[in-house]
Amino acid sequence: MKKSIKFFAAILLMLSVSHCTPQDEVVVLRMGHTLDQQHAVHKAMVFMAERLAVYSNGSMQLRIYSGGQLGSERELIELLQIGSLAMTKVSASPLEGFSPRMKIFSVPYVFRDSAHLWQVLDSDIGQQLLSDLTQVRLRGLGYYDAGSRSFYTTAKQIKIPADLAGLKFRVPNSQTAVTMVQTLGGAATPIDWGELYTALQQGVVDGAENNPPSFYLSRHYEVSKYYVLDEHTAVPDVILMSEQIWQSLTPIQQGWVRSAMRDSVIYQKQLWQAATLDALAQVKARGVEVIVPDKQPFIDAVQPLHQQLAGSEVGELLQRIQQLTPEVASE
């Protein structure tokens, strides 16, 4: 009931403030997300707002509503689809419910390393995945780095896949993520990010999985003793815009948005590397044991999942990604 009230309040807020048309003096774009203001992604959004103001000479503004003020990730996506919100940031995982090929990001051990991930995101594969979203009234503007996701638990160490047996983990709203945890031997249940702290505290779940900055800034280290760097998936964040609002902009305004987005991607990558190292140092200082396991047993354990994808659209994507050769930097 409480979530429904928040959602409808957000709709009323968006509808009560009319979206400026290209003919107005200032076009105001509103952006909602669920993260803390200290998160590298929020800081990159602020930078994007600054760059948009520069490119447009003040004729466009980006106003950001953080911390889930306007609802959960799913609710924010729905607000975009009806044109009541201009932009949001979501993890690629729940997008598989809107565009099935997005499942590829929730398949474990797809990417060799960060360089391989960005090679894919910057290729025609990554751009086509964004283009697919227009079919569901969403405009994919680009990707933000969200590092690698790893498991953390409230009471039990995880060093090998067998250690997941008997444990229940929170995962994003992604059936592929559920299957991944089950393949490794654990149980999984989707829980909204904003409700996870309480779920961990009350023992509704025994653990979760996410990147180090999110683990730290959510304060989940207060109710979790162990963080295991198995780095099973690399799920990027996706910056989305309402297709309806995008089409209401002039080509020049669309170009300004693209340029501001491009600048923020470069800035966010720099922030992310520092934020990851700082987060690991901070949680260690607060008593969390950070475990660095041998990844090979985890990689071996999920091979049946890879094999099950053979012949599917996602399986075809997986094959194309694995066949990409490492890029060699030019001198």
Residue 173 has a pLDDT of 86
Q: What is the pLDDT of residues 247-256, one digit of tens each?
A: 999 999 999 9
Q: What percentage of the chain exceeds 90 in pLDDT?
A: 84
Residue 15 has a pLDDT of 46
Q: Is the pLDDT of residue 21 over 50?
A: no
CATH 3.40.190.170 domain span(s) along the chain = 2-94+133-145+236-278, 149-234+279-323
Q: What is the pLDDT of residues 147-163, one digit of tens each?
A: 999 999 999 999 999 99
Distance CA 218, CA 222 (A): 9
As a whole number, the mean pLDDT across the chain is 91
Q: What is the pLDDT of residues 264-314, one digit of tens each?
A: 999 999 999 999 999 999 999 999 999 999 999 999 999 999 999 999 999
Distance CA 104, CA 16 (A): 38
Of the pLDDT bands very low, low, confident and very high (cuts 50, 70, 90), residue 7 is low
Q: What is the pLDDT of residues 76-117, one digit of tens each?
A: 999 999 999 999 999 998 899 899 999 999 999 999 999 999
CA 219 centroid distance within chain: 18
pTM of the predicted model as reported, rounded to 2 decimal places = 0.86
The CATH code for residues 2-94+133-145+236-278 is: 3.40.190.170
Q: What is the pLDDT of residues 50-70, one digit of tens each?
A: 999 999 999 999 999 999 999
The fold of the 149-234+279-323 domain, in CATH, is D-Maltodextrin-Binding Protein; domain 2 (3.40.190)
